[in-house]
C-alpha cells in the first residue's frame, strides 16, 4: 500500500544480459490533484507485447475525473480515465466479459463505488450502485467495496463472477463505536447483480478483501474473510463457499481473534507443513502474524 500526492507513477526496467543488475527509469507519468491507496495492476490492454497498468485514485468524498486510470506500459501515456464520485482505493482485477479478447477491469472504493470497465476504451460496462451519484449509499446500507477476487462461474451464465466485501462507513468519526456490520458478497461478473450476500457472523465492520481458496485441492472451496478494524475487535474466519451461496455465514469458524483490534490485511495461503494442504497465514492489526493449519483450523504458530 502506498500514498502519493499527487500521483506519480514510474516504471523501472531491468536490463537483461551482461548488466543483469542494472536498472534504468523507462518512463514516469504524473496526474495532479489526486492521491492513491490503490496498487497498480499489470494487464495487456494494447496490441503490443508490453503489459499496461490500471490503478485507482481520488480524494475521500470528492468527485474525481481520475478515479480509475489505465496507462500504456510502453510509454506511460494514459490510455483512458473514468470519473468517479468518490475515491477508488481498491486494486483492479480483470476478466474479459465483452468477448473482444481484451481484459475488462473490476475495481471499487468508497461510497459503494464498484465498476466494471471496458479494458479497450474505458467505458463503464456496469456500476453496482449508480444511485450513489444522487443519494448517500449509506442510507441504503452500502459502504466501501474492497479489492475483489474473480472466482469460478456460480450462476452458469458462462462468465466468471466476483467475491467481494462491503463495509466500513468512512463518514463515522473514529470515536464512535456503533458501526454497521460488513457483508461478504458474490456478484455476477457480467451484470453486477447480487448472487449471494451475508452479514459477517460477529456483526462487526469489515475492511478485509475475502479470499476463495481450495485448501485441499479437492474441489471444496472455502471463503476466508476478516472482521474488525483499527480499534474494533474482530476475527479471521473460514466458511464453506456453499454457506455463502446460501446467504448464511453462521457456520463460519474463527481461526484468529483479537478483542481489541481487527483483521484488515487479506490472508495468504501456503503449505507450511508439507501435508499437501494449504495453511493460512494471517496478519492482525494487533501486529501478530498467525499461521493456521488448513486441515484442522488450529493454530500452528504466532509471531509478535
pLDDT-based confidence at 294, cuts 50/70/90? very high
Q: What is the mean pLDDT of the chain?
A: 94
Q: What distance in Å separates the CA atoms of residue 149 and residue 188, rounded to the nearest whole number?
A: 12
Q: What distance in Å separates the CA atoms of residue 244 and residue 161, rounded to the nearest whole number?
A: 14
- Cα distances from 116 to residues 28, 100, 248, in angstroms, run 26, 15, 26
Task: Decide if 187 contacts 131 (C-beta within 8 A).
Answer: no
pLDDT-based confidence at 17, cuts 50/70/90? very low
Looking at the DSSP bridge assignments, the partners of residue 14 are: 23
Taking CA 47 as the corner, what is the angle to CA 128 and CA 51, rounded to the nearest 5 degrees? 70
Work out the end-to-end distance of the chain between its first and last CA atoms, rounded to an integer number of angstroms: 21
Report pLDDT digits (tens) over 125-141.
999 999 999 999 999 99
Q: What distance in Å separates the CA atoms of residue 222 and residue 239, rounded to the nearest whole number?
A: 5
Is 176 or 147 the better-scoring residue by pLDDT? 147
Report pLDDT digits (tens) over 71-107.
999 999 999 999 999 999 999 999 999 999 999 999 9
Average pLDDT over every residue of 226-250: 98
pLDDT-based confidence at 171, cuts 50/70/90? confident
| pTM score | 0.93
Average pLDDT over every residue of 27-52: 95
Picking from 112, 93, 198, the residue whose alpha carbon sits closest to that of residue 150 is 93
Amino acid at each position: 500500500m502506498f500514498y502519493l500526492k499527487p500521483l506519480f507513477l514510474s516504471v523501472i526496467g531491468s536490463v537483461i544480459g551482461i548488466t543483469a543488475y542494472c536498472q534504468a527509469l523507462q518512463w514516469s507519468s504524473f496526474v495532479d490533484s489526486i492521491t492513491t491507496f490503490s496498487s497498480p495492476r499489470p494487464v495487456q490492454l494494447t496490441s503490443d507485447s508490453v503489459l499496461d497498468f490500471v490503478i485507482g485514485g481520488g480524494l475521500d468524498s470528492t468527485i474525481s475525473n481520475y478515479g480509475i486510470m489505465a496507462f500504456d506500459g510502453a510509454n506511460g501515456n494514459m490510455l483512458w480515465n473514468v470519473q468517479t464520485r468518490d475515491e477508488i482505493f481498491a486494486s483492479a482485477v480483470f476478466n474479459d466479459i465483452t468477448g473482444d479478447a481484451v481484459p475488462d477491469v473490476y475495481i471499487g472504493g468508497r461510497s459503494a463505488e464498484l465498476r466494471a470497465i471496458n479494458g479497450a476504451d474505458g467505458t463503464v460496462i456496469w456500476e453496482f450502485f449508480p444511485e450513489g451519484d444522487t443519494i448517500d449509499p449509506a442510507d441504503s446500507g452500502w459502504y466501501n467495496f474492497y479489492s475483489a477476487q474473480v472466482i469460478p462461474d456460480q450462476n452458469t451464465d458462462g462468465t466468471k463472477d466476483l467475491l467481494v466485501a462491503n463495509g466500513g462507513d468512512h463518514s463515522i468519526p473514529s470515536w464512535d463505536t456503533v458501526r454497521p456490520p460488513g457483508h461478504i458478497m458474490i456478484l455476477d461478473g457480467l451484470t453486477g447483480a447480487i448472487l449471494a450476500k451475508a452479514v459477517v457472523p460477529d456483526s462487526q465492520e469489515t475492511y478485509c478483501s475475502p479470499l476463495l481458496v481450495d485448501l485441499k485441492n479437492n474441489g471444496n472451496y472455502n471463503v476466508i474473510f476478516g472482521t474488525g478494524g483499527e480499534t474494533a475487535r474482530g476475527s479471521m474466519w473460514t466458511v464453506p463457499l456453499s454457506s455463502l451461496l446460501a446467504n448464511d455465514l453462521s457456520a463460519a469458524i474463527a481461526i484468529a481473534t483479537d478483542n481489541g483490534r481487527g483483521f484488515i490485511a487479506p490472508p495468504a495461503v501456503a503449505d507450511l507443513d508439507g501435508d499437501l494442504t494449504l495453511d493460512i497465514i494471517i496478519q492482525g492489526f494487533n501486529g501478530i502474524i498467525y499461521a493456521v493449519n488448513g486441515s484442522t483450523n488450529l493454530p500452528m504458530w504466532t509471531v509478535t
